Chains A and B, each alone.
Chain A
Amino acid sequence: QQQVKQSPQSLIVQKGGISIINCAYENTAFDYFPWYQQFPGKGPALLIAIRPDVSEKKEGRFTISFNKSAKQFSLHIMDSQPGDSATYFCAAGVRGGNKLTFGTGTQLKVEL
C-alpha cells in the first residue's frame, strides 16, 4: 500500500512537444505529492509539488495534474527542451510525516 507506480520508464519527445509522466498511488493517507528532477551525476532536486486540495498546479512550463478519486497524478512538461532531458521521480508522503515514497523514475530524452 506504500507503493507509488510511475510510468513510462523512459520517454522520448521531440523539442517543443509535451512530455507526460504518470504516477498512481494506493495509500489514501498520502497528501503531499512532489516531483523531483535528476540530472546525471547529480542528486534529485525538487521541481514542483502539489497537495490534494487542488487539481492542478502550474509553474512555468511544468504542470502537475491531480485526480484524487483515481489516486493518480501526472507531470506535464510543455514546450519540452533538450535541457529538460533528465530522470523524473514522482513521490508521495503524508504531511507532518517523515518519509517520502518515490516512484521508480522516468528517463526523459528531448530530441532536436
Chain B
Amino acid sequence: DSGVTQTPKHLITATGQRVTLRCSPRSGDLSVYWYQQSLDQGLQFLIQYYNGEERAKGNILERFSAQQFPDLHSELNLSSLELGDSALYFCASSGRSMTDTQYFGPGTRLTVL
C-alpha cells in the first residue's frame, strides 16, 4: 500500500459527460501528479501541483483541469468526455523534489461509453 488513495476505483459514464477523480496524497507529501495510462499511449504525465499551486503541465487536454486543495487532496476534472478518454488515471505524490520517489495510487479506471 503506497499510502496514496484514489476514488472512485471504477467509473463508467457516457460521452459528453463530466467526471471528477479524487486523490489523497501520502501524509506529508506536498506534490501531486496526475497521469493517464492507456494501452496505446503508455503512461502520460498530465499535470503536477505542489502545495496548492500548479507546478508543471504535460499532455493535458483543455477539457481536463485539476486543482489541489488546502488539505492537499487533489481533484482531476474531465469534461465533454470522448470515447478516447477511457483509460486508467493515476495520481502520485512525492515530497519537495521530482526526484523524490513518486508513490502511485491504485488508479481510477474510467470507461466512456
What is A's interface to B at a CB cutoff of 8 Å? 32, 34, 36, 41-46, 49, 89, 93-105
Contacts and interface: CB of A to CB of B under 8 A. Distances in A.
Given A34-B101, A36-B104, 20 more contacts: A32-B98, A43-B2, A43-B4, A44-B43, A44-B104, A45-B2, A45-B104, A46-B103, A94-B98, A95-B97, A95-B98, A95-B99, A96-B99, A98-B50, A100-B45, A100-B102, A102-B43, A103-B42, A104-B42, A105-B43
Contacts of A93: 98-99
Contacts of B42: 89, 102-105
Contact of A32 (B58, B99, B104): B99
A99 B90 contact: no
Interface in B13-68: 33, 42-45, 48, 50, 55-56, 58
Interface of B: 2, 4, 33, 42-45, 48, 50, 55-56, 58, 90, 92, 97-99, 101-107
A54 to B, nearest CB: 15
Contacts of B105: 43
Contacts of B2: 43, 45
Contacts of B104: 36, 43-45
Contacts of A46: 101-103
